[in-house]
Amino acid sequence: MSGPETVRLPMEDASSGRVISRASTVEIKSVIASMQAEEGERNFAGSCGSDRNCAHDRVRWTILERIMDGTYQPGERLKELTLAREFRVSQAPVREALRKLEAIGVVKSEPYRGARVRELSPTELRDAYQLRGILEHAATEFIIDFPEESVRTLEMEYDAMRAAAQAGDLQAVACHNRNFHRCIVERCQNQEVVRAWKSLGICMRARLNVQRRVDRLPEAMLSHQPIIDALRAGDLRRAGQLLREHSFGFVSDLM
């Protein structure tokens, strides 16, 4: 195909909503599975120390999934009693689930008002993306080599990202984008950098579906290709600079 590479995002189409929803559910569950693995909960349903722990984990992951897919909107109140009745548990596991979600920044508790889905301001998201750019730039300084197999993984994630954008599935775009960046960071030999990046990502990825500037997404996506090219050429210094510019460029789109 001749001419410059383009990524076209379709307008919202109610008739395609059902297909998009199914794709997003798969991607969201994949993200949550990764979060469980990061916590050492590869089989969280069978690894709990007690029935109460199993209950609060079940409630926690379900609430997080609903926040990520937009079922619970920013600012929406999460009523303990209502959730306890839905999950057929006491309010204690619900309270513990909400406490853990507050710890990763997706829920906010207010005295005498209960818990709500946290609204992330453009300033907070800007700060998070700037830090992500700094961390990814630093990560490349501790990567010894970037094998061809990892380059191919980046290409597959980039292709999947573009296909999701064409389908209008912004949640899938966010998930493949996260996989793309994670593939790079996990080659880093400094585990403190890796841990800091993962901790930051938990807060950010749960908000992508409501904060992302759709009109600027195609341009942001295309900036992944030079990163792939630099890593294939073994130019880790250049890749680090591009990763930083990529995150800082997204920040400018938010403001």
Question: Is CATH 1.10.10.10 what the domain over 19-117 is classified as, yes or no?
Answer: yes
Pick from 212, 120, 125: which is nearest to 170 by CA? 212
**pLDDT number for residue 37:** 75
- How far, in Å, are 75, 152, 183 from residue 159 at the CA level? 34, 10, 15
Percent of the chain with pLDDT over 70: 74
Q: Residue 19: which pLDDT band, with cuts at 50, 70 and 90?
A: very low
**What gap in Å lies between CA 135 and CA 120, rounded to an integer?**
21
Domains 19-117 and 122-254 alike in fold = no
pLDDT at 74 over 50: yes
Domain boundaries, given as residue ranges, for the chain: 19-117, 122-254
The string of DSSP codes covering 2-46 is -S-----PPPP-GGGHHHHHHHHHHHHHHHHHHHHHHTT-TTTTT
Question: Is the predicted pLDDT of residue 56 greater than 50, yes or no?
Answer: yes
For CA atoms 128, 254, 212, 164, give the dihedral sign.
negative
Q: What integer is the mean pLDDT of 199-218? A: 61
- Residue 50's pLDDT is what? 45
The domain made up of 122-254 has a fold known as Four Helix Bundle (Hemerythrin (Met), subunit A) (1.20.120)
The answer on pLDDT for 67 being more than 50 is yes
Q: How many CA atoms lie less than 13 Å away from 154 in the CB half-sphere? A: 25
Q: CB–CB of 133/244 below 8 Å?
A: yes
Tell me the pLDDT band of 41, cut-offs 50, 70 and 90: very low
* Under 8 Å between Cβ of 100 and 110: no
pLDDT of residue 43: 45
Nearest-angstrom CA–CA distance, 66 and 82: 15
Question: What is the predicted pLDDT for the residue at 212?
Answer: 52
Whole-model pTM: value is: 0.71
Q: Three-state SS string across 36-98, please?
A: HHHCCCCCCCCCCCCHHHHHHHHHHHHHHHHHHCCCCCCCCEECHHHHHHHHCCCHHHHHHHH
